[in-house]
Amino acid sequence: MSDALLFHMVAGAPQPVAPYTHVVETGGFLFVTGQVATDPDDDSLPPPEGIEAQTHKVMDNLKRVLAGVGASLEDVVMVRAFLTAFERDYLAFNAIYLTYFAPGHLPARTTVGVTGLARGTILEIDMIARRKSQTPG
């Protein structure tokens, strides 16, 4: 297992909204930068309206980033979710979030309410995943 740091920018992933790398890899772990509901194919589009649409867009963006380094949601061990309207959106967010993971195989998770997110979005999610093999994708 290597302790080297690998910095991955993923082609076709959403454009960074700040100075960051999509994924930093070390010791078989993948630290995935938080994604918001931007459109990876047209960064000029506004984020979709509502927690349902933003949850799907964020999860799809995360799947795209993970795939770009040879991983998937099955490899995720930890999730952090940030909601700007926690009380309003928490239950709807959870209902959609559950559809992205196999029953009984949910990553550890922290969800917090925040006062604001980049680009006027209402949800941001970051992840930690672990490679099945130690060979970088």
Indicate the pLDDT class of residue 137, thresholds 50, 70 and 90: very low
Its pTM stands at: 0.92
Distances (CA, A) of 18 to 37, 44, 77: 14, 15, 25
Share of residues in the chain with pLDDT > 70 (%): 95
Domains and CATH numbers, the chain: 6-130 (3.30.1330.40)
